[in-house]
Chains A and B, each alone.
Chain A
């Protein structure tokens, strides 16, 4: 079975600090993509960052970076210099032959 697990339902971080959200997945596929999406109170799903499984280099987008450990099937998201606008639900997602989302981590940035 293919699943995506986010073990932290809620997290908080002080503004300007760094926070890491964890995600693990299970798959027998070799070619797939991993994503982090952000869902703010507006409920719009916004792509934060993506990683191709065949690439060893960790993806980075400005203040957002991932730690992709393919052997361990781990895909954590690090947010540096947290801002109030980062407050949202964050979903880890897997796409290969099928499509799975984690249950989400609610992140609150505290002023």
Chain B
């Protein structure tokens, strides 16, 4: 059973370009989470998605950032018009749903390191 897959592992963009980060959850997992980790800091929650639905985007910056998890294919985190401050590691995690409806343990992908020049 493959783990959470993220690609690319490293992404370099110039200021003003767009960055697209992809995440394929573990087989059988219907929940996807995106986190951002700045250097020497912990993880900050960005967004929580189920298939075709954004459940919680309270951690997502209001502008330039968007996320989707289509019926088919990976989840995409999209950053438009990147700035130097967007340089960070972006981690995706996935989980299944337990009987109570709550999300179960989150398993993390290897992360995408975004560098904005």
Contacts and interface: CB of A to CB of B under 8 A. Distances in A.
A91 B48 contact: no
A101 B105 contact: no
Contacts of A31: 100, 102
A45 B105 contact: no
Interface residues of B, number: 23
A95 B41 contact: no
Contact of A101 (B35, B100, B102, B111): B35
Contacts of A101: 35, 42-45
B8 to A, nearest CB: 15
Contacts of A93: 43, 106
Nearest to A100: B45
B12 to A, nearest CB: 17
A104 B102 contact: no
B105 A47 contact: yes
Q: Per DSSP, are chain A's interface residues mostly helix, strand or loop, or mixed?
A: strand
A47 B107 contact: yes
Nearest to A106: B40
B103 to A, nearest CB: 6
A96 B105 contact: no
B43 A43 contact: no
B110 interface: yes
Nearest to B35: A101
Interface of B: 33, 35, 41-45, 48, 56, 58, 89, 91, 93, 100, 102-108, 110-111
Interface of A: 31-33, 35, 37, 43-47, 50, 91, 93, 95-96, 98-104
